[in-house]
A and B are shown apart, each in its own frame.
Chain A
Amino acid sequence: MDFAFLLQDIISGILMGSIYGLIALGLTLVFGVLKVINFAHGSFLMVGMYASYWAVSLTGLHPYVALCIVVPVMFYFGYFLQNFLIKPIFVAEKDVREPTTVIIVTTGVWYMLDNMALLIFGPGYRALTPNPLKGQMLEFGDIFISVPKLYGFLIAIATALLLYLFLQKTRTGRAIRATSLDRDAASLMGINQWKIFNIAFGIGTAIAGISGVVLTPFYNVYPTVGVPFDVKSFVIVVLGGLGSIPGAIIGGIIIGLIESVGPVYMTSTWTEAIVYMLFLLVLFVKPSGLFGQKYDW
């Protein structure tokens, strides 16, 4: 019986952790290519959740069909945001090694988006209304698996694989990898680095949108919903190694496991403290993270 409890916690930890990993995936891609920590990533997740909420509530579509709407919308949202807000600063700060100004601009975007959501939708919590997945459970003896989280897990793994294949096999993917290794050399090879930045930022934002669609069936939507996920994704990307795809997923699963198995042994609020301590520990011991590359940027 005890073992079943533990197994239950481990499974839900892995499922939730993979969704954390999915959120962190967008952040790590943007960091890998632009070398910018996108503080607005949690807000993009929030926008994705509202978009999916409204897409489902207004049209009555199945929650996952909302992907068809949310992903392209979020992609272009990120694409143009990078083009009009972040690119000018890159141009202005061309020879600054560590572009802190960009971090601050993304923070400005975070404040604006979160509070615009507050202004437009109010502070209330919203749950998806026509929700065919609500409370659905798979039962295996003593173990219950939440169906929306299971779908979330599958979508997270599929997204990571697709992103991996995209980066490995397609021309654009190779250009993105080249730019992330050395943007100047890539430019000399005829790659338009600004376009690559736009695309990478767009994909990162689209992944935040996918995470939003995945979260909405079992999580409430409210204006600051992104903030805890935002901080958590920072922890995950540093843990897994900034810029690493498997690092993001595995880092996410580690955090998910700590959060779900931890409360068995201590009060649940302390697990949050453990997450931050682990983060600081990894930073001190191995700043490049579990799967990080040693490239100097």
Chain B
Amino acid sequence: MTVDYIKKCCLAACVLFAFAMPLFVHSPTYLHISIMLLLFAYMTTSWNLVGGFAGVLPLGHSVFVGIGAYTSTVLWLQYSISPWIGMLIGGVVSGIVGYLIGKPTLKMRGAYFALSTMAFVEGVRVVVENLSYIGPFKLNGPRGLNIPPIPAGENSFFAFQFAHKEPYYYIILIMLIAVLALTWYVSRSKMGYSLIAGGEEPEAAEALGINVTRYKVQAMVMSAFLTSLAGTFLAQLTLFIYPKSVLTLDLSFELAFIALIGGRGSIAGPVVGALLLRPVSEFSRIYLSDSLPGMHLILFGAILIVVMLLQPSGLTAPLTKKFNAIVEKIANRKTKPRGVSDEHA
């Protein structure tokens, strides 16, 4: 048993557990919490493509969530185009917007980039809140859009609506696994190495002939496309969207928080961050929001400060270290009695 083998087994066990979870958890509340956890892990992993690897701090990803949510919803309500197709169209629109906003801003220093993405979200929110229509598309201003539910108890794959929570769970789980695989692939590609180099030492990377900005823009477009898909999912899950639910700075900040607490630039970071933070916010919202309003955000802020003070690179690094130590211990214990070490096997 090699270290690698044990790690693969652990990964397989995690995936298996994730797929089997709805078989023994039937409570809609817990399923909903799990769905939200996976959704945030998905969005943060998409954020991580540009925010983690490229070493910049985008604080405007809720724009892409909003574009995804609004595009698919408008297409479904006005033209009866399936949200599945709307999801892809929204992704393409987001990708284009990501290119247009990334091209000029990604050349800027970190602080300016963070501020301009923030201003972008606020600007888009103000515009959407003030528009009833963009051309023929009805946005309904601050009142938002309602997606009429299909008859109760029915499932419709075409309408992206299901009677129970389980299908949503599996959809977002598969989306998360896909985006994690993509991140893994990117991190081992030329693009990934260029992004990391450009994020850490931009001058040195430029000197080596890497067009840092071009790779950053590519990452931004990918990230925008993927984040946008989550927007459609969110719209179909809640069946109601309005500017303050999908186009807020709060959402953008939460993605950055999750990534930073988990560990930006690592593949598992966003998942670890979501696992740690989403339950905090969900449970404190359920149990504390009546008696102690704002408590979950105080906890959020406190966790953020403590983690940043004690472990600025996020919690994934120490956890991985611990995990590796345990795996190695197991591997050694299994091999030693036979007197064969890894090198000779």
Task: Return chain B residues, CB-CB under 8 Å to A104.
Answer: 256-257, 260, 304, 308
Task: Return chain A residues, CB-CB under 8 Å to B123.
Answer: 273, 276-277, 279-280
Q: How far is the CB of A85 from chain B (nearest CB, A)?
A: 7
Known: A37-B111, A238-B115, A283-B116. A267 touches B130 (CB 8 A): yes
Asked if B28 is an interface residue, CB under 8 A from chain A, the answer is: no
CA distance A109 to B115 in the complex (A): 18
Task: Return chain B residues, CB-CB under 8 Å to A115.
Answer: 293-295, 297-298, 301
Residue of B nearest to A234 (CB): B115
Which DSSP category, helix, strand, loop or mixed, fits chain B's interface? helix
Asked if A103 is an interface residue, CB under 8 A from chain B, the answer is: yes
Q: How far is the CB of A245 from chain B (nearest CB, A)?
A: 19
- Binary contact track A150-192/B, C-beta < 8 Å → 1, others 0: 0000000000000000000000000000000000000000000
Task: Return chain B residues, CB-CB under 8 Å to A109.
Answer: 301, 305
Asked if A112 is an interface residue, CB under 8 A from chain B, the answer is: yes
- Binary contact track A111-136/B, C-beta < 8 Å → 1, others 0: 11011101100110000000000000
Which of A54-62, A88-96, A214-222 is the contact stretch?
A88-96
Known: A108-B305, A280-B120. A119 touches B294 (CB 8 A): yes
Task: Return chain B residues, CB-CB under 8 Å to A273.
Answer: 123, 126-127, 130
Task: Return chain B residues, CB-CB under 8 Å to A112.
Answer: 297-298, 301-302, 305
Residue of B nearest to A113 (CB): B301
Report yes or no: A287 in contact with B112, Cβ–Cβ below 8 A: yes
Which DSSP category, helix, strand, loop or mixed, fits chain A's interface? helix
Asked if A293 is an interface residue, CB under 8 A from chain B, the answer is: no
CA distance A277 to B257 in the complex (A): 27
Q: How far is the CB of B125 from chain A (nearest CB, A)?
A: 9
Report yes or no: A105 in contact with B293, Cβ–Cβ below 8 A: no
Query: Which parts of A237-291 form the interface with B (CB within 8 Å)?
Result: 238, 242, 267, 269-270, 272-273, 276-277, 279-280, 283-284, 287
Known: A119-B295, A223-B294. A105 touches B308 (CB 8 A): yes
Report yes or no: B114 in contact with A101, Cβ–Cβ below 8 A: no
Q: How far is the CB of B34 from chain A (nearest CB, A)?
A: 25
**Per a CB cutoff under 8 Å, which of A105, A235, A267, A272 touches B304?**
A105
Give the interface residue-count category, chain A. Answer: 35 or more
Asked if A65 is an interface residue, CB under 8 A from chain B, the answer is: no
Report yes or no: B304 in contact with A108, Cβ–Cβ below 8 A: yes
Report yes or no: B57 in contact with A111, Cβ–Cβ below 8 A: no
- Binary contact track B63-93/A, C-beta < 8 Å → 1, others 0: 0000000000000000000000000000000
CA distance A272 to B243 in the complex (A): 15
Task: Return chain B residues, CB-CB under 8 Å to A110.
Answer: 301
Kindly list the 7 A-B residue pairs having the minimum CB-CB distance in the complex, ordered from nearest. A115-B294, A276-B123, A111-B301, A112-B301, A98-B110, A108-B304, A118-B294
Known: A115-B294, A231-B118; 6 extra A-B contacts, CB below 8 A, are A37-B115, A108-B308, A111-B304, A234-B118, A235-B119, A280-B116
A to B CB contacts below 8 Å, 12 in the list: A37-B111, A89-B308, A98-B110, A105-B304, A107-B257, A108-B300, A110-B301, A112-B302, A119-B292, A119-B294, A231-B118, A283-B119
